[in-house]
Structure 1
Amino acid sequence: MIKALIFDFDGTIIDTETPWYYALRDRYKSYGVELTLEQYSQCVGTSLHQFNPYTYLMTEHGLPIDEEEFRAVVHRDHTELMGKEKIRPGVLEYLEAAKAAGLKIGLASSSKRSWIERHLDALRIGHYFECMATADDVSKVKPDPELYRLALQGLGVEPGEAVAVEDSPNGARAAAAAGMHCIIVPNELTRLLPFDEGNLNKHAESLADVDFDELVSKGCGSSAIGA
C-alpha cells in the first residue's frame, strides 16, 4: 500500500525546463552557436556543475560576453515564455486525491527553495506539501538520492511506501537509487531524452493518464498506467 507521493518540481508540476532550453538556445543562436539538446540535458534535473549554460560561451568559445547581462536576458526571455505555462495535466487532481485519501505529500527538487516557493504560491498549491527537500537542504542534488531520502525521512515513510513523480532521467535515477517506485511523466523537452530501464519506473504522458486508485493500491504495476 502506498502511503506517500513525492513530487519533483521543475518540469513535473509545471514545465519550467522547456522554456529554459528555448531561452538559452535562442540566445546561443544569436552568437552563432548551437545549443544541442544533448549538451543541455546534462543540467536538466540536476546542478550546473557538469554543464553550465551561462558560462559555456565564454569558457569554451572564448566569446567576450558579460555573464551577468547574459543571464539577465535569458531570465527575461524565460519569464516571458513561462507566461504561457500552466500546471501540468493531472497534477492538481492528484494532489487533491492524495489529500482526500490521507496520503502524505512531499516535494524533492534540485532547485532552490525560494524559486520553488515562488511558483507554488503563484499556483496556489503550496499548502498540499507537508515536507519539501530542496537544493538548500542537501550537499548533493539529483541524480544523487539524498533529496529523496530526506523527503522520505521528513514524511516518516519507507522507500517502498512512497511513489516519486518525475519528468527527467536524473530525477528518475535519484528515485531509483533511493529504492522508490517512480512514475515518469516527461514534458515536451524531457520526452526526447533517454531514460534508464528499470522495474521501479513507469512512464505516462501525464498524471491524467495514471489511475490514482490503482496506483495507491498496486504501486507502479502496469495496470495503473493508462494506454
Structure 2
Amino acid sequence: MSRIKAVIFDFDGTILDTETAWYEAFREAYLEHEVELTLEMYGQCIGTSLHVFDPYAYIVEKKGLDAQQFRQDVHARHDKKMDQERIRPGVLAYLEEAARLGLRIGLASSSKRSWIDKYLSQLGVGYYFEAIRTAEDVSMVKPHPELYELAMRDLGVQPAEALAIEDSPNGARAAVAAGMHVIVTPNPVTRALIFDGEPRVFGSLAELSLAELIESLA
C-alpha cells in the first residue's frame, strides 16, 4: 500500500467547475464587442492569477470600455451560469472515503478565501478540510508550489505522502514542483489545454475509488 497520508484538492474546476462558466462568460462578453477570446489566450490565467493574461484589462484597453461595467457584466453572466453547477462527480465520495481511511484532507487554491468559503458553504463540504490555503496566504500562487507546501505543512505530511487533485496545467505544475503525487481531472475547458509531461488523467473521480487510486500509486 502506498504511504499516502493526505489528499489536497484544488478548488476551481476540480471540486466545482467554475472555470467553464468563467470562460463562457468572458467569451460571450467579448463577442458583444466583436473580439474573439480564444481558449489559448484565456488558458494562461486558469489555475493562477491574472498576472500573465488579464481578461478584464485586455479588452478594456483594446476597446476603451468602462472597466467597472465590463467586470459587472462578466460577473452577472458567471453567476447565472453557476446556478446550474453542482459538485463534480466523485468529489464527495473521495472526501467521504478519505475521512473513512483516516487521511488528512486539505485544499490549496489560487483564489481568494472569501470565494472559497462561499462555495464550500453552498456545497456543504467545508467541514472536511483540515487545512485551507488560498491566495492571501502566499506571495506567489500556482504554478509556484507555495500553496501546496503550506497545506502539507499544516497537515504534517511530506511531499511523498501527499496526493494533489488538480484540473489545470498551472495547478499540476505547482503540485509537481512541490514534489507531490498528482492526478488530473480536467473540466470541459481545461481538457483542451496542454499539460506538462504525462500526468495521470481521469475524466472524473467517479472512475475509480480513492483506495484503488492510492493502491495504484504504490
TM-score range, shorter chain: over 0.9
Which of 209, 214, 217 is residue 216 of structure 1 equivalent to?
Answer: 214
1:90-169 equivalences under 5 Å are: 90-169=90-169
Task: Supply the AA of the counterpart residue of 1:11.
Answer: G
Match of 1:170 in 2: 170
How far, CA to CA, are the matches of 2:134 and 2:216 in structure 1? 29
Matching residue of 2:17: 15
Partner amino acid, structure 1, of 2:26? L
Shift of 1:57: 1.2
CA distance in structure 1 between the aligned counterparts of 2:108 and 2:169, rounded to whole angstroms:
15
> Any gaps of 5 or more consecutive residues in structure 1?
222-227
Does the 8 Å contact 2:4/2:161 carry over to 1?
Answer: yes
CA distance in 2, matches of 1:211, 1:120: 22
Dislocated runs of 4+, deviation >4 Å: none
Corresponding residue of 1:224:
none
Please give the alpha-carbon distance, in whole angstroms, between the structure 2 residues aligned to 1:40 and 1:76.
19
Match of 1:203 in 2: 201
User: Identity over the aligned pairs, expressed in percent?
Assistant: 58
1:85-121 alpha-carbon deviations (Å, 9 max, x no partner): 1000000000000001100000000000000000000
1:2·1:163 contact (CA, 8 Å) conserved in 2? yes
Aligned residue type for 1:203: V
Helix, strand or coil: the match of 2:171?
helix
Runs (5+) with no aligned partner, structure 2: none
2:152 counterpart letter in structure 1:
L
Q: Which amino acid aligns with 1:157?
A: V
SS of residue matched to 1:182: strand
Structure 1 contact 168–190 (Cα < 8 Å) conserved:
yes
- CA separation in 2, counterparts of 1:212 and 1:111? 25
Is 1:79 the counterpart of 2:70 in the alignment? no
| Alignment partner of 1:56 is 2:58 | yes
Is contact 1:3-1:157 (8 Å) kept?
yes
Higher relative contact order (CA 8 A, sep 6+): 2
1:225 corresponds in structure 2 to: none
TM-score where L is the length of structure 2: 0.97
Q: Is the 8 A contact 1:2 1:217 kept in 2?
A: no
Q: Is the 8 A contact 1:165 1:185 kept in 2?
A: yes
How many Å apart are 1:187 and its aligned residue?
A: 0.3
Paired residue for 2:48? 46
Q: Give the aligned partner of residue 188 of structure 2.
A: 188
Asked whether the 8 Å contact 2:14–2:187 carries over to 1, the reply is yes
Q: Shift in Å at residue 216 of structure 1?
A: 2.5
Structure 1 residue identity aligned to 2:134:
T
Whichever residue aligns with residue 34 of structure 2, its letter is: G
Give the CA deviation at 1:144. 0.3
Rounded Cα–Cα distance in structure 1 between residues aligned with 2:93 and 2:74: 32
Task: Work out the CA distance in 2 between the residues paired with 1:218 and 1:17.
Answer: 29
Contact 1:89 1:208 in 2 (8 A): yes
> Contact (CA 8 Å) 2:145, 2:174: kept in 1 or not?
yes
* Alpha-carbon distance in structure 1 between the residues aligned to 2:64 and 2:202: 44
